[in-house]
Structure 1
Amino acid sequence: MFQFIVRRIIQLIPVLLGVSIIVFSLMHLTPGNPAQIIAGESAPKETIEQIENRLGLNDPIPVQYFNFVKDAVMLDFGSSWRTSLPVSQELWPKFWVTFELAVYSTIFSVFLGLIAGIISAVRQYSFADVGIMLVALFGLSMPNFWFGLMLMQWFSIKLGWLPPTGWGSPEQVILPVITLGTMGAAVVARMTRSSMLDVISQDYIRTARAKGLKERVVIYRHALKNALIPVVTVIGLQFGSLLAGAVLTESVFAINGMGKLIIDRILARDFPVVQAAVLIIAVVFVFVNLIVDISYKFLNKRIDMD
């Protein structure tokens, strides 16, 4: 197990280097001069040149990338070009908001998706199965921002039960979590159903039933545990998607998280903040998938991690 973890961590290095190259390249290929944006449209040329020298924009591109990677390895992302505040001070409060939103949405999607998938598999081709799959199809098809606006229209404006915007109180958490977690719940439900149907048809499940075990024991102790491996894989991917794709939900509910921060700083050409934000999301994503890989051993003892 230890050797597997070390090997996987080493394998993450080229992945993170690739992410750093992509985000660095995209930011520098984006039209617009950051120094011009900082100084203003009517700023004299001398002022713009001074800002470019101060920010290191006149250095060769390879030198700028090397400095970015070197500082990132030391967990020093510099200062924001827009506010002059340390990047870490800009990022961490926003990151924890988005991280909480992704975690709560994942919990919601796993809870709802597992229950729906199990019911659908156990009652295959029944009215419940067809209904759950239709709802899951709806959850996969609808845009998050539209669903969020509909929830806001009904539960905030018409009924007045929940606040329409913000983040922090339990009431403010409900609508964004439902909005972001519904698509994940649909994916988990479909994968759980498919995996459970495959496991239920195995010989050892029929043997367990022939021994007189209760159906609940057969389903939850024998079938579900062996059906969880593909489901856990999907959950890991879903968490990464929720963490990286929360920008629309944050915009709809006016949540001051990483998504809104990244969009604002891309428009402002604030390279240090955008590069650090994307790199942090990538790090969290790859480590979540490492945890998913490790969980396989606990779900199935026959898997050889080494």
Structure 2
Amino acid sequence: MLSYILRRLLLLIPVFLTVSIIIFGIIHLVPGDPVDNLVKIGSSPEQKAIIAARYGLDKPLYQQYFIWLGQLAQGDLGNAIVMRRPVADLLAQNIPFSLRLGGAALLFSTLLGIAAGTLAAIYKDTRIDRSVMAGILLGSTLPSFWLGLLLILLFSVELGWLPVSGARSWQAIILPVLTIGLGGTALVARVTRIAMLETMQKDFVMLLHAKGLPARRIQLRHVLRHAMMPVVTILGLRIGWILGGAVTVEFVFARPGLGTLLIKALNQHDYPVMQGCLLMLAMAVMLGTLLGDIVQAAMDPRVRHALT
């Protein structure tokens, strides 16, 4: 098992390098210049050139990339150009809010998705199955920012039950969790339903029925457990997707976090902060995938032997 984990970690190195190049390239293609946010209106080109040289923005892009990569190798994310603070400090200040929101949304979507998928599989081709699948289809097509605005309009403006924005109380996290979690519920439920229906066709399930075990016990204790393999993989991917989806949701609900920090950095064209935020989101996807593979390998030895 240890050798499998080491091989998976080594495979992440070229993925990380590729992602870092893509992030650096995309950010520098965004129109705008961070220097414009540091100089006064009417400043001369010479003054702008001095400030650009101070932050290394006058160098060719490939040199800027290798300088940034060298800093990353030393654990240094650089300093924010406009905010004038270490990027690591800004990330450390905002990441806990995103992790709290993402963790709650992941738990909510996992429990509700598995329950909905199990219910749809047990009552296959009935009204319950069709109703659940219709709700899944609706949940997977609604944009998160639009759903968030609808929830604010209903529960905050009309009913006055929950706060509109902020992160000062536990009630403030309910609407953002619902906004992010409902979209993820659709995917988890769909995968759970398909996996359970496929598992029900296995020979060992027919043998359990032949032994006279109750159908409900077979479905919940045996079929559901074996159907968790693809669900675990999806949940690993969902870790990164949820943090990425929190970008727009945090902005809609005016919550602190990586999303709010990233949008602020985009408005200011603060390259180091943008690179740091996007790198954290990309690493969340990679680590989530790695965690899903490790859990899947622990559950099924065939996965571990696939790379041996």
TM range (shorter): over 0.9
2:273 aligns with: 273
1:33 aligns with: 33
Deviation, structure 1 residue 16: 0.8
Alignment of 1:228-239 (within 5 A): 228-239=228-239
Normalised to the residue count of structure 1, the TM-score between the two structures is 0.95
CA distance in 1, matches of 2:101, 2:218: 35
CA distance in 2, matches of 1:12, 1:297: 17
Note the residue ranges of structure 2 that are not aligned, 5 or more in a row. Answer: none
2:155 aligns with: 155
Alignment of 1:1-306 (within 5 A): 1-305=1-305, 306=308
The count of aligned residue pairs is 306
Percent identical pairs in the alignment equals 37
CA distance in 2, matches of 1:168, 1:225: 39
Deviation, structure 1 residue 151: 1.3
Letter aligned with residue 236 of structure 2: G
Per mean C-alpha deviation after superposition, the further-off stretch among 130-139 and 161-170 is 161-170
CA distance in 2, matches of 1:33, 1:243: 27
CA distance in 2, matches of 1:273, 1:49: 21
Across the aligned residues of Structure 1 and Structure 2, the Cα RMSD in angstroms comes to 1.5
Q: Deviations over 1:116-169 (max 9, x none)?
A: 000100110111111101111110111212211121112112221111111242
**What SS does structure 1 have at the residue aligned with 2:75?**
coil
Note the residue ranges of structure 1 that are not aligned, 5 or more in a row. Answer: none
CA distance in 2, matches of 1:285, 1:97: 18
CA distance in 2, matches of 1:151, 1:35: 39
CA distance in 2, matches of 1:107, 1:188: 11
Whether the 8 Å CA contact 1:79–1:85 is kept in 2: the answer is yes
Normalised to the residue count of structure 2, the TM-score between the two structures is 0.95
Letter aligned with residue 228 of structure 2: L
CA distance in 2, matches of 1:4, 1:222: 27
Letter aligned with residue 182 of structure 1: L
